[in-house]
Structure 1
C-alpha cells in the first residue's frame, strides 16, 4: 500500500472492527497500516474477509498477524513453500549460475547453510535433511528478520571469474517475483559481516567515547 491508500484502509479496517464491537484509535490504525504496508489494498480486503470467515480465529477482532497469515499462510506453510522453491531451483538451475530469490529470508537461510554452490552439491539422499535445516532457519527468520543477507548467491561461474575475468560473469538468475528479486539485489550486501578484530573493536569504542566527549 501507499500513503494514498490510507483513507481506504482506515475505512475498511474500521468497518471490520465495528463487526466485533471495536473502534481502533488513530494511533492503532497507523501502527496497523505500517505493519501491513507491504501488501496492496486488495490483499488487505481479502485477508479481512478471510478472517471474518475463519472458524478458528474469526471470533476475535483481527490483528495484523491474522491478516499476514491469511495472505502468506502460517509459518510452517511459508517455510515449506520457500524450500520447495529452493529445491526446484537446485534441480533446474544448478550450481553454475548465481541466483537471487525474492525473499531475504531465503537468501539468508541458504547463505547460513554454506551458500548456493554447497547446497547444490547435496545428494538426493541428503536433500530432505537439508530441507529440514532450511525450514528451521527460515522459521527463525520469520520471527527475527535477518539483519543482513547476500544480494545474490554466487554460482560456480561467477565465483571462478569474479575479479580477473569479470567480463565473463553472467547475470544472476532471478527466482520468483522479478520486482522483489531486484529489491533483494538493492538491499542485500555483497559481503556478509564477519568477526571483528580486537584492535578494530577497541578503536570503534574509543571513537564513540571521543564523539560523546565532543558532544558534552
Structure 2
C-alpha cells in the first residue's frame, strides 16, 4: 500500500490499515525480515511500512512533525511516529515482531465501540510497565492489569486519548528541543548515559522509555475507561 493523496481524509480505523516503521538506515536482520513477513501474511489487513524513504509522505499538510524529529534516535523516531500516526490517521500499529493473528476482529470491535479510543493487549506484568519513578511508577505497576502494551494496538484518530497523547509528547519535545539540538542522537538506540560505539558516554537527552512508555502508561491508567483489551499482542521472542 502506498501513501494516499489526501491525508486530511485518511481514516486508518475505517479503512483497516496497520502501520509499522523501520526508521533507521541499518538493514533489518533476517529474524526481523521474517517478522515483517508474518505481519504482511497473517494480519489480513493492508500494511503500511514507514521507512526513511517514505516517512515524509505521511507528514500531515496541516500538522508537521515536531522540529525535534530530525534529532531523535531511530528508536525514538519510531516512538514518535506511532503517536503521530494514531492521532492524525488512526488505524493499527505494530512493532515488527512475529504475529499469527488476523486483525479484522480488532478493527471491528473498536469501530463498534465509539466510546473507546484504543484497543490493545493487557500489559504482560509489572515488569512490562515503563520505569516511571515513584509514586506514579508504583501505582502503574500495582495496576498493570488495567494497562495495555505499546507493541500492537488499534486507535481512533483525533480521539480524547490521542489528543492528550500527542499534546504530552509535544510538550516533552518542546522542553527537550534545545538539548536535542545541542546533542542529537549518535546511534540508532541512543539514550542518556549509554556508552557509544566509540567509548564515549552519550549526552543525548532522552532516556530509553521517556518519549513513549513514560507518557503512554500513565495516560492509559488515567483514561482506562476509554481503552479496550483484547488478544492483539505479537510474539516477544526471536525478532531481533
Q: Do both share a fold (TM > 0.5)?
A: no
The structure number with the bigger radius of gyration is 1
Higher RCO (C-alpha under 8 Å, 6+ residues apart): 2
Greater fraction helix: 1
What's the TM-score, normalizing by structure 1? 0.24
Q: More strand per residue: 1 or 2?
A: 2
